Chain A
Amino acid sequence: MDKALLEIRELECVRGDKQLFKGLSFSLGAGSLLHVHGPNGSGKTTLLRAIAGLVLQESGEICWNGEQISRQKDEFNRELLYLGHHYGLKFELTGYENLKVFANLSGSDISEHEVEAALMRFGLAHCVELPVKVLSQGQKRRVALARLLLQPSKLWILDEPFVALDAAAVELLLDVIKAHVAAGGMVILTTHQEVAVEVGSLQHLHLGQAQPAQTSQAAVAEQH
């Protein structure tokens, strides 16, 4: 791993009265994948949202290219693609319209053809013109994931991306993630699925392994 692009220093996050983690530090360079593990309620989603800049941390720093993300929101957001628990789709719009809106807002000028190709890759060729609300859970997730192919973001933050997907789609998503890492991208994800990348480095982060009452060193990062 060469230069670290994303650096987390002494991060502490609190939800309500509960301290989720404290003193969390790690760094991520180009071409690497971070797999965040932890039981329910251990703060996986909060960590991911904090890195995306949606949740404000209690203390600590999140740096992109050596500068805090809060000071360079637009630059960081251009490099970021965050897919959370919600699909982030408008159910009244078609899959095509949904993708087009986000591509336009991200400033990338993509053609109709590219959007259709992305949907097709995720096996949605026959539902390009259907409103998202008539699609099944798995298909909705596929539409949301098709954004991965359309936006040239460096850092992907994926919160449980494999939920509701069938075996074929899981395989496909794994391929897409591997290709992204191999091309020098970075992925942070939470899942109970085993994810292996041959190219680039794979890191594991375990949240909430210490007892909840203990505050220090709740997180252990190990490098493979």
Chain B
Amino acid sequence: MLATLRCMVMRDLTLAMRHRSDVLTTVFFFIIVVSLFPLGVGPEAALLKEMAAGVVWVAALLASMLSLTRLFADDYNDGTLEQLLLVPQPLSLIVLGKVLAHWIISGLPLVVMSPLLGLQFGLEGDELMMLMVTLLLGTPVLSLLGAIGAALTLGLRGGGVLVSLLVLPLYIPVLIFGAGAVTASAAGMGADGHLSLMGAILLLALVLAPWASAAALRISVE
């Protein structure tokens, strides 16, 4: 099982490395959107600090949407997806491998970049740390839930817009608890409750999303 997972992740990472522009697009989109806010709002330290978590989180949602449509579409177009359906391994495991690779490519860089971007908003030590932890817990959920949307809209015209409409509402809980945790810790309240809930959402998505995406893929390929 682990061999299958590793094989899928390595395959998708190799593909991403040969298409580096796609990976960089996501990261630069995130950096630019987050950086536009201090420029647009003005140098009011208190205001910036208050909206920091929300801005970073919304930018992360949008950035992860960018590459979602291509999660399965490339494999679908060149026929490798139907070959993956015929592999004697559980399809949800293959989907999990693809999602994991998607997170490493488009989620993990956001986590790593976030403390640097948080500095623009005047966040300090603990808040930066909290921002990073919430993103670390939250971005895998974005990839997992997004995979369901990507699988459902596979092969449809205008699938990109449809994915956003399907998936963004599902992202709302992650957004609320993610941004809420940072705000709560900045206000001196504990963020444990928020983090526990995010962990719970992550576990739930980890169990259910690959299975749901696999079912959706079977329908889409037919």
Interface on A for B, CB 8 Å cutoff? 52-56, 74-75, 77-78, 80, 82, 84-93, 97, 101-102, 104-107, 131
Residue B50 at the chain A interface, CB threshold 8 Å: no
Q: Please state if A89 and B80 are interface contacts (CB–CB under 8 Å).
A: yes
- Distance between A41 CB and nearest chain B CB, rounded to angstroms: 18
Q: Which of B8, B83, B85, B221 is the most central at the interface, judged by chain A CB atoms within 10 Å of its CB?
A: B83
Q: How distant is the Cα of A82 from the Cα of B15 in the complex, in angstroms?
A: 23
Residue B157 at the chain A interface, CB threshold 8 Å: no
Residue B87 at the chain A interface, CB threshold 8 Å: yes
| Smallest Cβ-Cβ distance to A73: which chain B residue | B88
Q: A88-B78, A101-B7 are in contact. Are A106 and B83 (CB under 8 A)?
A: no
Q: Please state if A82 and B86 are interface contacts (CB–CB under 8 Å).
A: yes
Question: Would you list the 6 A-B pairs with minimal beta carbon distance, nearest first?
Answer: A86-B79, A78-B88, A77-B88, A88-B83, A88-B79, A92-B18
Binary A-proximity of B52-87 (CB < 8 A = 1, otherwise 0): 000000000000000000000000001110111111
Q: How distant is the Cα of A78 from the Cα of B85 in the complex, in angstroms?
A: 12
What would be 30 A-B contacts, judged by CB atoms less than 8 Å apart? A52-B86, A54-B82, A54-B85, A54-B86, A54-B222, A56-B222, A80-B86, A82-B82, A84-B82, A85-B79, A86-B80, A86-B82, A88-B78, A88-B79, A88-B80, A88-B83, A89-B78, A90-B15, A90-B78, A92-B15, A101-B11, A102-B87, A104-B3, A104-B4, A104-B7, A105-B4, A105-B8, A105-B84, A106-B87, A107-B88
Residues of B within 8 A of A101 (CB): 7, 11
Q: How distant is the Cα of A99 from the Cα of B75 in the complex, in angstroms?
A: 15
Residues of A within 8 A of B82 (CB): 54, 82, 84, 86, 88
Residues of A within 8 A of B221 (CB): 54
Which one of B19, B79, B84 lies within 8 Å of A84 (CB-CB)? B79
- Distance between B200 CB and nearest chain A CB, rounded to angstroms: 31
| Smallest Cβ-Cβ distance to B221: which chain A residue | A54
Q: How distant is the Cα of A75 from the Cα of B82 in the complex, in angstroms?
A: 17
Residues of A within 8 A of B3 (CB): 104
B contact patch SS: helix
Residue B89 at the chain A interface, CB threshold 8 Å: yes
Q: A80-B86, A105-B89, A106-B88 are in contact. Are A92 and B19 (CB under 8 A)?
A: yes
Interface on B for A, CB 8 Å cutoff? 3-4, 7-8, 11, 14-15, 18-19, 78-80, 82-90, 94, 221-222
Residues of B within 8 A of A92 (CB): 14-15, 18-19
| Smallest Cβ-Cβ distance to B78: which chain A residue | A86
- Distance between B96 CB and nearest chain A CB, rounded to angstroms: 13
| Smallest Cβ-Cβ distance to B77: which chain A residue | A86
Residues of A within 8 A of B86 (CB): 52-54, 77, 80, 82
Q: How distant is the Cα of A101 from the Cα of B8 in the complex, in angstroms?
A: 8
| Smallest Cβ-Cβ distance to A86: which chain B residue | B79
Q: How distant is the Cα of A84 from the Cα of B80 in the complex, in angstroms?
A: 10
Residues of A within 8 A of B88 (CB): 74-75, 77-78, 106-107
| Smallest Cβ-Cβ distance to A74: which chain B residue | B88
| Smallest Cβ-Cβ distance to A109: which chain B residue | B3
- Distance between B104 CB and nearest chain A CB, rounded to angstroms: 17
- Distance between A153 CB and nearest chain B CB, rounded to angstroms: 10
Residues of A within 8 A of B84 (CB): 105
- Distance between B79 CB and nearest chain A CB, rounded to angstroms: 2
Residues of B within 8 A of A56 (CB): 222
Q: Which of B8, B84, B86, B88 is the most central at the interface, judged by chain A CB atoms within 10 Å of its CB?
A: B86
Q: How distant is the Cα of A80 from the Cα of B85 in the complex, in angstroms?
A: 12
Residues of A within 8 A of B79 (CB): 84-89
